[in-house]
Every structure is written in C-alpha cells, then in structure tokens.
Amino acid sequence: MKFVVPFFVMLGMLASFGARAADPVTEAINQAYAPYRVALFRTNSQAQAESEQAMAQARQAWQAILDRFAAQPPIPYDRDPEFRASLNAVVKVYEQAAGEVGQGKLVQAHETLEQARDIMAELRRRNGVVVFSDHMNAYHTEMEHVLQQGTAMTSSPQAMLTLVQRVGVLEYLAQRLRSEAPKALLGDAEFDAALHALETSVAALQRAAMNQDVTAAREALGRLKGPYSRMFLKFG
C-alpha cells in the first residue's frame, strides 16, 4: 500500500513535533528541518512531483534562516566564524539536489540531501548545541554501517560475533532515543509506538545474532531501516 499524506498536512505535523530550542537560530533550524525530512522521504520513495514540492519548501525555509540570521547570528552562534559558511553550504546542497530532482535523478538527490544533515549537525556541535535530531543521526549512522556490512557479518559464525558487537552499539543508541527524547514526545502515543517499533527491530536482530541464526539475522537486517525511516520522517 502506498503511503500518501498531503504535503502541507505532513509539514504541519512535522513542525509541531520539533524539539523546542533555547535560542532562535536552533529553533529556526528545527522548524526548517521539517520540510528537509519530507524531501529526504520523498526522494527516497521515488516520488517526482512530491520531491519537487518538498525541495521548494526546504529551500524556502532555509533561505528564511539566511535572511534572518546570516549577517548577525545571536548567542551561541555569534562567535562562530564559520556560521555563515555553513548556512551557505546547505544552500549549495539544496541547489544540487533540486537540480537532480528536476532531472529525475531522485536516488542521487537523496544522497546529496544527506550531506545537509551532516552540515547542520556539525554547526550545532561547534556551538555546543544538542537536539533530539542529533541522537537520531547517531542511530542512523550506526544503522547504515550495520546494513552496509550486514552480508559480511553474517557470512560465518565468527563474523556473526562482529554483528553481535555492532548490534550492541545500535541497542545503546536506541536506548538514547528514549532517554534523550523531549518530554513532549515521551507523552505522545504515536512517538512511543514509533520508538517501540524501532526498538523491536533492533531486538530481533540482536536475538538472531546471539543465536547465530544467519537466516533470521538477514531477515532482521532487511526490517531494520523501515521503523527508523518512519520515525525520522515525523520525529527526527
């Protein structure tokens, strides 16, 4: 069944769940992150028209940040000499991705858009700002490593021991998603269901790895990304 949600309805839901920030720049980035996540989702689902619409919204939201803060950012970004360069770097990523979307190269556009997530995260890191998205990003990085190395880590009983280790890291990062979630999200039933699905996917992989069950491990690997993607779309 194809997942269809009207774009502006989705955008409103995403913005309402953004982590509340203590400074106006981080708050603005959190809000602009909502259409960015939609753009990632749409390009990954090979939806041409929806990708074009999402890219336009993401670019508009980010341009508003430049217009408002690039010349004179407030605390804690006011002493960051690379602040404006980081904002412009995201602009360039969006421009490239938009061009790729326009050419129908949605897979390439999705990969290009991933770069913006890293730029935003590094901008916050330099300035001592941590938001829930950073914990989602940490989980995503480890998940991608596990997925990329999954075949190799299920090739033999000895290799499965490596998978046990990597899943231990993934489990820890999943626990952080619960312990570091904003209070508003912890009280939300939909968030709890999404996080529970993610935790269940990790537990299934861990159980298969511990049991040295190659078939079950590969099946669990195939079910790892879905729960994360759904959680990221709305809460990431």
93 and 188 fall within a common domain: no
Q: What is the mean pLDDT of residues 203-215?
A: 95
Specify if 104 maps to a domain: yes
11 and 106 fall within a common domain: yes
The parent domain of residue 44 ranges over 7-126
What pLDDT is stored for residue 187 in this prediction? 85
168 and 113 fall within a common domain: no
Q: Taking all residues of the chain, what is their mean pLDDT, rounded to a whole number?
A: 89
195 and 167 fall within a common domain: yes
109 and 144 fall within a common domain: no
Specify if 179 maps to a domain: yes
- Residue that is last in its domain, among 100, 126, 152: 126
137 and 31 fall within a common domain: no
48 and 146 fall within a common domain: no
Instruction: Give CB contacts under 8 A, 24+ apart, made by 212-216.
Output: 212/157, 212/160, 214/154, 214/160
Specify if 28 maps to a domain: yes
Which of 131, 233, 129, 232 lies closest to 181 in space, CA to CA?
Answer: 131
CATH of the domain at 221: 1.20.120.290
Q: What is the mean pLDDT of residues 197-209?
A: 96
Task: Give yes or no for a cis peptide into 76 (omega within 30° of 0).
Answer: yes
Q: What is the mean pLDDT of residues 210-232?
A: 94
For residues 82 and 104, give the distance between their C-alpha atoms in angstroms, rounded to a whole number. Answer: 33
- Residue that is last in its domain, among 99, 126, 153: 126
On the question of pLDDT at 6 being above 80, the answer is: no
Q: What is the mean pLDDT of residues 136-143?
A: 94
139 and 117 fall within a common domain: no
- Check if the beta carbon of residue 142 is closer than 8 Å to that of residue 169: yes
For residues 63 and 58, give the distance between their C-alpha atoms in angstroms, rounded to a whole number. Answer: 9
What pLDDT is stored for residue 236 in this prediction? 82
27 and 46 fall within a common domain: yes
CATH of the domain at 29: 1.20.120.10
35 and 82 fall within a common domain: yes
Specify if 2 maps to a domain: no
Q: What is the mean pLDDT of residues 168-187?
A: 93
- Residue that is last in its domain, among 82, 105, 126: 126
Residue where the block lists tokens 């336009």: 56
103 and 62 fall within a common domain: yes
What pLDDT is stored for residue 8 in this prediction? 37
What pLDDT is stored for residue 1 in this prediction? 34
How many structural domains does the chain have?
A: 2
Question: H/E/C letters for each residue in the chain?
Answer: CCCCCCHHHHHHHHHHCCCCCCCHHHHHHHHHHHHHHHHHHHHHCCCHHHHHHHHHHHHHHHHHHHHHHCCCCCCCCCCCCCHHHHHHHHHHHHHHHHHHHHCCCHHHHHHHHHHHHHHHHHHHHHCCCCCHHHHHHHHHHHHHHHHHHHHHHCCCHHHHHHHHHHHHHHHHHHHHHHHCCCHHHHCCHHHHHHHHHHHHHHHHHHHHHHCCCHHHHHHHHHCCHHHHHHHHHHHC
68 and 166 fall within a common domain: no
Q: What is the mean pLDDT of residues 97-116?
A: 96
Measure CA 226 to chain center: 12
pLDDT band of 87, cuts 50, 70, 90: very high
pTM for the predicted model, two decimal places = 0.80
Specify if 1 maps to a domain: no
